[in-house]
Amino acid sequence: MASRPRTGRVGIAVARRPSGGRRPRSPRGEGERLREEILRAAEQLLIAKGSADAVSIRGVATAVGVTPPSIYLHFADKDELIFAVCQEQFARLEQLVDEASVGIDDPLQRLRTMGETYIRFGVEHPEQYRILLMSKGEVSVADFQDGTMPGVSTFQKLMGAIEACMDAGVFARQDVFLVATGIWAIVHGITSMRITLPEFPFVGAQVLLDHVFDTYARGLAP
Check which CATH number belongs to the domain holding 170 and give it.
1.10.357.10
Per the CB < 8 A criterion, the answer to whether 175 and 4 are in contact is yes
pLDDT digits (tens, 9 = 90+) for 90-137: 788 889 999 999 999 999 999 999 999 999 999 998 887 887 777 666
Q: What percent of the chain has pLDDT over 90?
A: 52
Per the CB < 8 A criterion, the answer to whether 39 and 84 are in contact is yes
Averaged pLDDT, 50-63: 90
How many independent structural domains does the chain possess?
1
pLDDT confidence tier of residue 29, bands split at 50, 70 and 90: low
**pLDDT score for 9:** 30
Which residues, 6+ apart, have CB-to-CB distance to 18 below 8 Å?
A: none
**pLDDT score for 21:** 42
Q: Is residue 76 part of a domain?
A: no
Q: Is residue 97 part of a domain?
A: yes
Number of other residues whose CB lies within 10 A of the CB of residue 12:
15
Q: Is residue 69 part of a domain?
A: no
pTM recorded for the entire structure: 0.72
Range of the domain at 123: 86-220
Task: Tell which wins on pLDDT, 94 or 164.
Answer: 164
CA distance 193 to 205: 10
